[in-house]
Amino acid sequence: MTETSVDDLVELLRTLTASGGGRTMVGIVGAPGSGKSTLATLLAERLVDHGAVVVPFDGFHLANAVLERRGLQGNKGAMETFDLDGYAHLLQRLRRASTTVYAPDYDRSIEEPIAGAVAVPPSSRVVITEGNYLLADHPAARRAKRALDAVWYLDLDEDTRTERLVERHIRFGKTPAEARTWVAGSDQRNADLVARTREKADLVVRLPDSR
């Protein structure tokens, strides 16, 4: 697979913005632990002159209390544990917004979404959104995709991806055994679902530092 550098992606975003004349909106999709948030942040930092803002899909996690009521706490991260309709509506609103729009974020330290945490002013010419299910076979996911100019799939080898996930879960409170069990179970089921959407992406990205 041909590797793509962050520089290449920055230039691609600049080209999309120059040719479109308005706001450019790009999605980054990939399995859990593939580095979507890191890449989105890097791109936004490099496009500060365009007022780039990252809008995370994780902000649309259902609250833990809702998951508990529905018996979904053990499936957290699966597609049914997100407000996909709310996410699609937000992207559609961002596409046509002439005023500041406030998007939710996700706080991993408490494992809860935080409403109104990300401001997207009308001066933001680039919006980068990242999440697992942008290319999923779901009506709301299809509406979300239609609001975007492109969707990129971030690819990473499985060993590196799973080790990153284990480290993340340990960092946020799980024991090593709990982390590995969660990664092998819930996270892997979600990763398998996301991987099946890879061919729908406009571009498959593999960064040089990924093994």
- pLDDT tens, residue by residue, 138-194: 999 999 999 999 999 999 988 898 898 899 889 888 899 999 998 888 889 889 999
pLDDT at residue 127 tops 80: yes
pTM of this prediction? 0.90
For residue 209, the model assigns a pLDDT of: 60
Mean pLDDT of the chain: 92
Please enumerate, as own/partner, the contacts of 88-94 that have beta carbons within 8 Å and a separation of 24 or more.
Answer: 88/140, 88/141, 88/143, 88/144, 88/147, 90/55, 90/60, 91/25, 91/55, 91/129, 91/143, 91/144, 91/147, 91/148, 92/143, 92/147, 94/23, 94/25, 94/55, 94/120, 94/127, 94/147
pLDDT of residue 211: 41
H or E element in which residue 92 lies: helix 84-96
